[in-house]
Structure 1
C-alpha cells in the first residue's frame, strides 16, 4: 500500500469505525462533535469529497493521516502502519537512491552577532513601507545582525521578556530564542 492509497481511506468511514457519528450532514460536509476533545456543539467538519477535516474550535486540520496522528498520539509512520493494517494490507518498503539519510539532530544554530540603532537603508525602507517613521520606533526597535549556520542576516528586532529577540524584515518573521511575550512598562 502506498501513501496515495492510504490517503484514500475515508475519514467518515474511519470515524464511524471508531464510534463517532456525524451530528449533521450537509452535502459533502459531515459535522461531528470533535473526536479530539469534549464539546457539545459540532465544530469538527469532514469534507467527504476532498477527504479532509477541519476543527473550527482549534484551527487544526488535515487528511486521514493527520487525524490518526492526532487521535492516536502517534507519528506519521505509525499512523500509516495503522491505516494499512486497518485495510489488511502491508506498506510497501521505503526506497531511496541515496540510501539511509541521517536525521538532523538539531536545527541550524542561530547566533546573535550585534544589536545597534536602525540605520540600514533597506530596513528604513521596510519601516516606511509599513507606514512607520524611524523616530516613532527608535525607542523600541533595533537593527539586529545574526548568523544561521554560516550565513549572516539582519532584521528589525525588539527584545522579548525571556531575553530573546523578535525579528522582522521583508523576507523573514521569526525569533532568536528563547521565544516569549514582549511587555512594555
Structure 2
C-alpha cells in the first residue's frame, strides 16, 4: 500500500480512536471523524464504507495484536488461564474503547474480530463434544463453535466492564471458563 494512503488511513483511525474513547459509537459521525483528521469526506469514503467500518478497522488495529499474542501464549504454554490473563489484561487496558463500541452499531465488527475459529480458549471444549458425539455435520459444528465463542466474548466483556482490575477480570473469566472446561472436558 502506498505510504501516503497508509498515513491517510491512520489519520482517520487516530481520529476515530480519539472520539471513540470519549463517546459511544452511535454518538460519533463521519463529519466529526473527517474534521478531526483534517481530511475530506470524499477521501474518507475512499478508505472506509462509513463510520462503523472505520470503528471496525480501529478495533482490528487495537485488538488483533492482543488476540494474536493470546493464541501464541496458549500454543506455547498450553495453559488456558495464563493465555486468558494476558488477553483480559490487554482488554482491560483498552476498557474505555471496548465498552464504548460494545452494544453499538459497530458490534458486528468487534464480534467478528474476537470470535475467530483460531481462538484456542474453547478448542478443548469443542474437541470434547466431538469426542462424545462423534462426527458432526459441519453446519452443526460451526453453530456450536459460534455459540461458544459468542458466549466467551460476552463473558470477557462483562468481566472487563465489572472488575476493578485486570487481575479480577481475568480471575472471573478463568473461573467460568475453567468450570466449562471441567464440566465438558473433565479436566
Same fold (TM over 0.5): no
- Greater RCO (CA < 8 Å, at least 6 residues apart): 2
TM-score when scaled to structure 2? 0.22
TM-score when scaled to structure 1? 0.23
Q: Normalized per residue, which structure has more strand?
A: 1
Q: Normalized per residue, which structure has more helix?
A: 2
Q: Which has the larger radius of gyration?
A: 1
